[in-house]
Amino acid sequence: MLAFTALIPARLASTRLPNKPLADIGGIPMVVRVAQQASLSGAQRVVVAADNASIVSACADFGIEAILTRADHASGSDRLAEASVLLGLGDDAIVVNVQGDEPLIDPQLLHAVAALLGQHPKASMSTAAHTIDNEADFLNPNVVKVVLNAQQQALYFSRAPIAFARDARQGWPGNLLPSANLTAQPLRHIGLYGYRVGFLKQFPTLAPAPIEVTEALEQLRALWHGHTIAVHVSDTAPAPGVDTPEDLARVRAWVANSRLTSPRLP
């Protein structure tokens, strides 16, 4: 049986949504909702890595394990590296980074990302993607694309439209996206990451990569330094996270109507 730990970085400060981890969703703080979803994934342990004692206290109220980490981390991966040390996780252990603003995260997707590291013993990281089927997403620089090799490992991540169908027929949907009989179907990256703890501890010490700075994509640092990222391709897109007050209102309304019986928005 696969053993892994789900780690949830939670930072109290947020420009667009202050105190986001503690935002109430149906009487439960958002970060607790995330942890409850993660607990359905088969994770051996679910831990919130917080930057503020108020988050730790809120988790304790709902029986969720949480630890206090430094407040000055530059990224979520840095926070998880510290959390792995505080939890005494061995270098061969597998952890999955679950964003603290994903209260509708699909537990099966989380499990699939963790399982990839068992299937790809030489991979340092794992992540997920799904097929892009419309031109707007393909051209949107806020939609990160990924190209894979034959072993379902990442060749490159970009905000640019890749893989670009140079010889596709004119007229949407054939001018930019490949037709259905081609194999280079564009993939949208899903920001869910699995790590081997040894690499997670090493990651903050690696020099930022030029391509990482250019694209503003942290995962490119791993590729630039020669590490392998295995990719699970999901049949469906994940439910959106909560970045703005409008996102929060939509999730609150959906939870009120459904009582969170499904991880996906209608």
Question: What are the extents of the domains in the chain?
Answer: 5-258
Cα–Cα distance measured from residue 183 to residue 137, given in angstroms and rounded to the nearest whole number: 19
- The pLDDT assigned to 183 comes to 56
Task: Respond yes or no on whether the N-terminal peptide bond of residue 165 is cis (omega within 30° of 0).
Answer: no
Cα–Cα distance measured from residue 135 to residue 138, given in angstroms and rounded to the nearest whole number: 5
- Per-residue pLDDT for 80 more than 60? yes
pLDDT, one tens digit per residue, over 152-190 is: 999 999 999 998 877 665 444 445 666 555 557 899 999
Output 263 or 154, whichever has higher pLDDT.
Answer: 154
- Per-residue pLDDT for 260 more than 50? no
* Mean pLDDT value of segment 16-24: 89
Q: How many CA atoms, within 13 angstroms, populate the side-chain half-sphere of residue 211?
A: 13
- The pLDDT assigned to 71 comes to 86
Closest to 35 (Cα-Cα) out of 15, 74, 61:
61
Closest to 245 (Cα-Cα) out of 17, 20, 10:
17
Cα–Cα distance measured from residue 81 to residue 212, given in angstroms and rounded to the nearest whole number: 19
Query: What's the full length of the chain, in residues?
Result: 266
- Per-residue pLDDT for 8 more than 90? yes
Q: Which two tokens stand for residue 181?
A: 């009989």
String of b and e for 43-68 (b: at least 16 CB within 10 Å)?
bebbbbbbbbeebbebbeeeebebee
pLDDT, one tens digit per residue, over 105-152 is: 999 999 999 999 999 999 999 999 999 988 889 999 999 999 999 999
- The pLDDT assigned to 257 comes to 84
Reported as a pLDDT band with limits 50, 70 and 90, residue 262 is very low
Specify the 3-state DSSP secondary structure of 240: coil
pLDDT, one tens digit per residue, over 37-55 is: 999 999 999 999 999 999 9
Task: Respond yes or no on whether the N-terminal peptide bond of residue 173 is cis (omega within 30° of 0).
Answer: yes
Q: Which two tokens stand for residue 88?
A: 């005494």
Cα–Cα distance measured from residue 211 to residue 93, given in angstroms and rounded to the nearest whole number: 29
5-258 fold: Spore Coat Polysaccharide Biosynthesis Protein SpsA; Chain A (3.90.550)
- The pLDDT assigned to 264 comes to 40
**pLDDT, mean over the chain:** 89
Alpha helices, H only, the chain:
30-38, 53-61, 76-86, 107-119, 135-139, 197-202, 210-215, 220-224, 245-258
- The pLDDT assigned to 195 comes to 97
- The pLDDT assigned to 217 comes to 95
Cβ neighbors of 157 (< 8 A, separation 6 or more) are 144, 145, 146, 189, 215, 217, 219, 220, 223
pLDDT, one tens digit per residue, over 176-227 is: 666 555 557 899 999 999 999 999 999 989 999 999 999 999 999 999 999 9
Specify the 3-state DSSP secondary structure of 239: coil
